[in-house]
Amino acid sequence: MNKRQEVGVLRKGYDLGKDHDFYTRFLFGLGNIRSCAYGRDKQLEYDKSFNPVFQNLLEMNIVKKKCVALISQHLEDVGAGKDGKYHGNQIDVNEPIDDELNIFFKDFFIRGEMAIGSLIAHSRYMGSNIGFLFSNDEKKLRKGLKNFVLDENDERFKGLNAFMKHHRASWYESFNDLRNKIEHEGWHLPDLHYTLDANHKVQVRLPVAPDQTIEEILESYWKSMSMFCEEVIVFLLSLKLGDDMIIVFIPEEKRDKNLPVRYIVSPKAFPGVSLQC
C-alpha cells in the first residue's frame, strides 16, 4: 500500500507481531506488486477496490480468534471448577457460551463469503472478472469466458481454471454450503454438553465435525480462504505487468524473516531479483 495507508493501518492498532505473515503478504507483498502493475495515478483507486477484500479477511481472522479464545476460556473455567459446578444430581453452568459461540462461528462464514464477493468485485475492477469461474452453469461459464481477458486456450487461463476447480472442490463448496445453511436455513452449532468423568469431575463436550474440532475447522478454512484470495490477486496483477517483468515465488526457506513475502516482481532478465517500482 502507499505510505499514507501503511501509517493508517498501524494507527488502527493492527498487531503485526501476532499475524506477521498475513499482514506481510497482504500489505507489503501484494502492495509492492501493485506498485509495479499500476502507475501512481491509479494506485489509490486500486487500493479502494482492494481494501474490502483485506478488511473482510481481517474480520474473519478476528472472529476466529474470538471463537477460539471463548472456547479456551470456558474449558479453563470448567477445568478449574470456576464454572460447570456439580452438586447433588446436576451440573450448574453459570456462564454458558453457546449463544456467543454461535455468533462468532456464523460471522466467520458470513465474513468469508463477503471476502469472496469483494474479491470478485476487485477482479471486475482489474478488468478480469472471475465471477463466472464460481458457477456450474454452462451458459454463465461461456458468457464469462467470452468477456474474459484471456482466451480459454491460453495456458495462463488453463492454469487459473484448474486452480479454481481445485479450490472449489477441496474447500470452497463445503464452506459455501455451510454459509448458505447459516444464512438461509437457520443452521447453528449443536449445544455444548457437560458430563462427569470417573472421578466426578465435569467435562465439556464441544460440538465437532467427523474429524475436526471447531478450532480446526476455523483455522483450516481461514488458511484456505486467505491463501486463495492472495493467489488470485497475484495472478490478476501479473496480467497487468509490463512485458519485461515477471512474478517470482519465494520458497519459505529463502524468505526474509523480517518481511516474509511469498511473491516479488523481478526483471524478466534477472528472475529472483526484487524490483522496486
Please choose, from the candidates 5, 25, 58, the residue with its C-alpha nearest in 3D space to the C-alpha of residue 232: 25
- Where do the domains of the chain lie? 1-37+247-277, 40-240
Question: Which three cell numbers, joined as nine digits, stand for 180?
Answer: 448458505
Burial class (CB in 10 A: 0-12, 13-18, 19+), 162: exposed
Q: For residue 204, which of 47, 20, 77, 59 has the smallest C-alpha distance?
A: 77
In 10 A of CB 181, how many CB atoms?
13
pLDDT in the model for residue 19: 76
**CB neighbour class for 111 (10 Å; exposed up to 12, middle 13-18, buried from 19):** buried
- In single-letter form, the type of residue at position 148 comes to F
What does the pLDDT read at residue 7? Answer: 32
What was the pLDDT predicted at 84?
A: 83
CA 92 from centre of chain: 38
Closest residue by Cα to residue 56 from 117, 121, 120, 135: 117
* Distance from C-alpha of 50 to C-alpha of 138, rounded to nearest angstrom: 29
Going from the C-alpha of 28 to that of each of 23, 50, 61, 165, the distances in angstroms are 7, 13, 18, 28
- Report the distance separating Cα 236 and Cα 254, nearest Å: 24
DSSP letters spanning 193-229 = EEEE-TTS-EEEE----SS--HHHHHHHHHHHHHHHH
Place of cell 503478504: 25
Q: What is the pTM of this model?
A: 0.88
- 8 Å CB contact between 259 and 24: yes
**pLDDT tens series, the chain, 277 aa:** 333 333 333 334 444 446 788 999 999 999 999 999 999 999 999 999 999 999 999 999 999 999 999 999 999 999 888 988 888 788 899 899 999 999 999 999 999 999 999 999 999 999 999 999 998 888 888 898 888 999 999 999 999 999 999 999 999 999 999 999 999 999 999 999 999 888 888 989 988 766 789 999 999 999 999 999 999 999 999 999 999 999 999 999 998 888 889 999 999 988 888 888 8
All cell numbers assigned to 84: 460447570
